[in-house]
Homo-oligomer: A and B are copies of this chain.
């Protein structure tokens, strides 16, 4: 059974009756039988974030929810954390600063355990910073003011979803330019701009994702670009012939072929 990734663009709704994304996470992780781990390492107020998610997962019918506090490399190499991951059917990374995740977790025993559990079929979810860190190359920060090599900073992520570059809060923070800047420099990566309260659910085996939630996922594919010119520093980048797709809930995308796919319910239609 392939592992499942749930990559959320931030600010997913926690309200009862309007929490489809978190409900989907719970359901994929086993519903009331789920054993969940919440990792709020990205946050500067981890206790508060842990409390929030424990409460919402309890409300969604999961009894066993364990916050795992990873504040140091020592924590991330410690038996308690590794044991919790090994028992988990679902792990949730909260938002905050993605560098706090990679510096604490990258290359640790928890990192290895997460990859192993994902291969075993676990559900790994992350929102905002917890989403950004999922790809091989992640966006660390940047500016929306122009498309230039200085408009975006990238670095290695935790490699749960290779081949993509994920940006979050995409529409809400007007981040097209910083994603285009990154994709112009690294066109072998596919750019995924995920709106708030919106997610992609990735079947890692099939390399197909489906969009969930209220907003859309903007896919930027510079593979077919006929011209990319990346001058130094803050000089504007030229990009000719980028493919762009806007995919709302229900739409699917094949990450290998880089093409949108019909929605499941349309498989036998037209």
**A: which residues have CB within 8 A of B?**
144-147, 171-177, 180, 184, 195, 214-216, 218, 220, 226-227, 235-249, 251, 260
A-B CB proximity, top 7 nearest: A174-B174, A236-B248, A239-B246, A176-B176, A242-B244, A240-B260, A244-B244
Beyond A171-B146, A176-B174, is A244–B249 a contact (Cβ under 8 Å)? no
Q: A171-B177, A177-B171 are in contact. Are A215 and B248 (CB under 8 A)?
A: no
Expressed in whole angstroms, the Cα–Cα distance for A214 and B146 within the complex equals: 9
The answer to whether A241 touches B243, judged by C-beta atoms less than 8 angstroms apart, is yes
What is the chain B residue whose CB lies nearest that of A234?
Answer: B214
Contact between chains at A174 and B144 (CB < 8 Å): yes
* A246 B237 Cβ-Cβ under 8 A: yes
In the complex, the answer to whether A236 meets B215 with C-beta atoms within 8 Å is yes
Add 15 more A-B contacts to A226-B260, A244-B244 (CB < 8 A). Answer: A144-B174, A145-B172, A146-B216, A147-B248, A171-B177, A184-B246, A236-B248, A237-B246, A237-B248, A238-B246, A239-B244, A240-B260, A241-B245, A242-B243, A242-B246
Number of copies: 2
Complex contact A247–B251 (CB within 8 A)? no
CB-contact partner of A174 in B146, B173, B240, B241, under 8 A? B173
CA of A236 to CA of B198, assembled, Å: 11
A246-B239, A246-B242 given as contacts; is B215 within 8 A of A146 (CB)?
A: yes
Neighbouring B residues of A249 by C-beta, 8 Å: 236
Query: Can you list 12 A-B contacts (CB < 8 A)?
Result: A145-B171, A146-B216, A171-B176, A174-B175, A176-B218, A184-B246, A236-B246, A236-B248, A238-B247, A240-B245, A240-B247, A241-B243
Residues of B within 8 A of A226 (CB): 260
Contacts of A176 in B (CB 8 A): 171, 174, 176, 218
For A176, A227, A241, which residue has the most chain B Cβ atoms within 10 angstroms?
A176
Q: Which residues of B contact A235 (CB under 8 A)?
A: 248
CB distance from A198 to the nearest CB of B (A): 9
